[in-house]
């Protein structure tokens, strides 16, 4: 049997935080664990923390105690369902770090578990960045067409299930080519960015705003009929018309509106909203619903 000093020395040579716990009490840990939290001993750790799992930050993408019943042992839950899981923990500087936990039961004591913390923060951040690149427009940082279509499919299913209204707005900057030709593409990009920020501030949190392509944008309004969507489009139109600053020239925007129906095929609602926008563009700075 390995004596305690040698066992502790072996643990301390491992660069990952490692602990032995029964799920509640911290029984043993290595130096890297202490360094992460800036504690000097298990006794000091226990003075401020009842359970290591209490330090798992609640996050939609990672495991935390919020995901399980209060009467369920978190360590049994992870061990019996998946011996590897991902958690977020704040370090001694208050910075979130992402760890993959590998949990194994000690053969000598079935109530004790060895947990190895592998820092995968860089990997997770890279995944997040790649996801944002895949679904966000790089200039305006709102959703791109791919993500919009994905959300639209989900909202159409919700509409069929619950019977709520679902409206679609398509908007286009009037005479945008003239802006680029007169002021240059740098100013044109600033127009797109400013427009995006202005509209985003005046939408609800559940509304979906995306760049469709070029100077065209889409807004999806869940649980909203075309009359309410029309009023929102008029509000945005006036807001944009009245906006002015020293960076970009004054612009106007035209809006087309339609309601998405249960009978709509994949492209039929797009054809209607595109037709509504086309009619609005005849007069420019106008709103038309079909």
Which residue of the set 105, 132, 215, 241 is catalytic? 215
CA distance 205 to 187: 29
Banded model confidence at residue 149, pLDDT cuts 50, 70, 90:
very high
- Superfamily name with CATH number, domain 4-125: PAS domain (3.30.450.20)
Checking if the pLDDT of 108 tops 80, the result is no
The whole-number pLDDT of residue 266 equals: 67
Tell me the chain's radius of gyration from C-alpha atoms: 27
**Mean pLDDT of all residues in 164-172:** 96
Residue ranges, comma separated, of all CATH 3.30.450.20 domains in the chain are 4-125
- Mean per-residue pLDDT of the chain: 92
pLDDT band at 180 (very low <50, low <70, confident <90, very high): very high
Q: To 10 degrees, the CA torsion angle through 260, 263, 264, 266?
A: 130
CATH assignment of 136-289, among 3.40.50.720, 3.30.2320.80, 3.30.470.20, 3.30.70.270: 3.30.70.270
**16 vs 100: CA distance, rounded Å:** 11
pLDDT at 277: 98
Res 235 pLDDT > 90: yes
Cβ contact 267:275 at 8 Å? no
- Active-site residue flag, 215: yes
Confidence class of residue 1 from pLDDT cuts 50, 70 and 90? very low
- In terms of pLDDT, which residue wins out, 23 or 140? 140
pTM strictly above 0.85: no
Measured CA to CA, the distance from residue 238 to residue 221 in angstroms comes to 19
CA–CA dist 31, 9 (Å, integer): 9
As annotated, the residues of the chain forming the CATH 3.30.70.270 domain(s) are 136-289
Q: pLDDT tens-digit profile of 253-279?
A: 999 999 999 888 768 999 999 999 999
């Amino acid at each position: 049997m390995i004596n305690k000093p040698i066992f502790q020395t072996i643990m301390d040579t491992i660069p990952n935080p490692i602990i032995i716990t029964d799920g509640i009490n911290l029984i043993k840990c290595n130096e890297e664990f202490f360094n992460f939290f800036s504690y000097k001993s298990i006794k000091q750790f226990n003075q401020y923390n009842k359970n290591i799992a209490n330090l798992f930050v609640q996050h939609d993408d990672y495991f935390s105690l919020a995901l399980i019943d209060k009467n369920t042992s978190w360590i049994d839950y992870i061990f019996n369902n998946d011996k590897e899981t991902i958690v977020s923990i704040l370090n001694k500087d208050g910075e979130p770090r992402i760890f993959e936990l590998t949990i194994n039961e000690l053969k000598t004591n079935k109530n004790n578990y060895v947990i190895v913390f592998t820092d995968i923060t860089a990997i997770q951040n890279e995944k997040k960045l790649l996801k944002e690149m895949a679904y966000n427009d790089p200039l305006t940082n709102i959703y791109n067409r791919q993500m919009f279509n994905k959300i639209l499919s989900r909202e159409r299913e919700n509409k069929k299930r619950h019977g709520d209204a679902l409206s679609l707005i398509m908007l286009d900057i009037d005479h945008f080519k003239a802006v680029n030709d007169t002021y240059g593409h740098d100013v044109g990009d600033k127009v797109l960015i400013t427009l995006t920020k202005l509209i985003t501030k005046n939408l609800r949190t559940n509304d979906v705003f995306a760049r469709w392509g070029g100077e065209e944008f889409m807004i999806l309004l869940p649980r909203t009929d075309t009359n309410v969507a029309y009023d929102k489009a008029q509000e945005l139109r006036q807001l944009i018309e009245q906006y002015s600053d020293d960076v970009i020239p004054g612009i106007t925007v035209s809006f087309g509106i339609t309601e998405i129906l249960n009978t709509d095929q994949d492209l039929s609602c797009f054809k209607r909203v595109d037709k509504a926008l086309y009619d609005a563009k005849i007069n420019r700075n106008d709103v038309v619903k079909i």
